[in-house]
Structure 1
Amino acid sequence: MMKFLLAKQMTPFKFLAMLFWGLSLQVTDACHAQAASKNRYFSVRTEIRSWIPGETLESYKLHSTGSCGRGGSVGMTIPTGEKKVNVGISCLPTSREEFVVEVKLRTIPTGKNLVDTEPDTRKLNMLDLRSQRIEIARDSNGRVFELTLVPEVVVLPKPKTFKVSNLKLQEWDFNLSPVILNDQNYVGQMGVSGGNLAGVDIAGYTTCEFSLIPWKGSQPTGTLENGVLKLNGEEISLMISGVRNGASRQILKGGPFLVWTKWTKPKYSKKESQALIGQQIQELQKRIEAGDDTITPEDLRRVKEFVDSGKPVLMGSFSRDLKPSEIIDPAD
């Protein structure tokens, strides 16, 4: 009875529909596999190393490295005492479903009355992606020379849609950028990188934060033009040059571009900064006396003169990324 019901339900039309559905799945899977294989290929990474057994740590040497893909080759010659070994590695141009690496070892004598030898040729199927190690020579000191083959599958990154945000143009980069206070006083250099908000702290004067992005509590009182920042507060101004932006760390051409700033009280008073710098000078003096040649007496003398002059001092610089909750939409 059950067989009769099944037979009754399986009409010729349904059978053909199921057949075509199954074939379409196979074709679809094959197309996906073919598309995936275009973005990847077999490659082999090569290394020639040597060491003396029992003295591995002290005697280890890395002589040569290389790599090749299907249809490519790499060659190297390694001196091993009275002879040289020529190593040739070829990835044979087989089908995409195979991965065969051919290794040719040829000994070339360097001494007199030594006879050249026929090359030792080996073909290795590396489709299982297992590394292979081949001893190619030993010298009179017992040093072992070994070829290592490491098969790999290289996956090419898929092209993606370009987005301006990938450039990260609002990120700051300061590489020893000089800071000028009130158009006349050099206070020090900035040396921070990354983050879309940066800032400086000048003892006895101000802490100034700035960004190309408007954020809560900030005001549009600065500009960036061809790598020069001009920041204006109440009865105070800063100029910072050599400013770079973006993932590529380049000067942002053009402008002027609006810069948003926030001015607050300094973290240190002049008196506190002088005390801290005095302690640092003492530490530098001790390092010089201990033989630290990275600091010269001339460097220390200049620091002392700068502090004794009573001029404003840049106590620190910093950078970070604004939190999403801090950012103000310009349209608001």
Structure 2
Amino acid sequence: MMAFCEHCHDTVNYDEKLVNKNKNIRGKEIKYLGKEAFCLECRNEIFVSDIRDYNLIELDKAFRESEKLISVEDIQKVLDKYKIKKRPLSLLLDWGENTVSRYLNGDIPTKQYSEILKRLLVDHEYFKELLEQNIENITPLTYKKCREALEAIETHDHLDNHKNKETKIEKVIKYLLEECADITPLALQKLLYYSQAFNKVFNKEYLFKNDCEAWVHGPVYRDIYEKYKNYGFNPIEDKTKQSFLYNNVTEPEKELLDSIINNFGCYSGKILEKMTHIEKPWLETRRDLKDDEVCDYIIDKNLIDSYFKEIKNKYRMINVSDIRDYSSDLFRKINH
């Protein structure tokens, strides 16, 4: 790096370093971290235009932070968010037509104007009110673009709200439907049951809060049954699964679910039903009920946990891939 040194009267190499600086603005001392350049020949401070520009930017940021004023970057975000240009936004706000342009070029807004811009950044309902109130200030084309931007924002918010309202069991179901082909409602119930049980013994917590009941056809999550019962014995076609994002489950959960799919998802719903019929949690919960006797008894989570802990120890399971030994053994028992 080279610049002109007034002391050496020559173009010289220079070094730069970060220094604490302060500046009095409007009677207030503003502290910021700036830079200074030093001639490598005489070690005197020298002027470098790039460093001056850097210091002005850092001073501006420090002042805005101290006064809680909106930044230039956030003003640009307002324009981008609502697909509106500088002049139309100024007119929509009933300001001078070049006001927003000046702010983007570095002029510092008043506290009042800054608060309006900051609110626009986070509150699209406020922008919608201004758009309708001052529609005569802008062109029909600008109005149309702003309305389209608002519709896109509201659609995105709706999808986000829907996703956030999904329960954990619904997120698990989406993963299972995405990764395992041709799951019937009966098979789904059993995959959920084994996912819940083995997640507890391997990952030390239940995968979801829902309780299952000891129905005639094995463990059943009642709400999930009601949601998918119209599919009967046919595979579930979940139209929402294509929008599923894998960050809805953690990596350890994903690994566990993959193992459940590989080791239980290969069997039909009827085979899985028979597997659960020879396991302690379903048998003990139904006690002396007849095979075809309807009940809504909840299978205690502690019973599930203790049984599958015994299974983990019995089959010397070290990681989730070892589940295959248990599932294979179950299959042999019901076909013996």
Instruction: Tell me which interval the TM-score lies in, with the shorter structure as reference length.
Output: under 0.3
Between structure 1 and structure 2, the one with the greater Rg is 1
Structure in which a larger fraction of residues adopt helix: 2
Structure in which a larger fraction of residues adopt strand: 1
TM-score (norm 1): 0.20
More contact order relative to length (CA 8 Å, sep ≥ 6): 1
TM-score (norm 2): 0.20
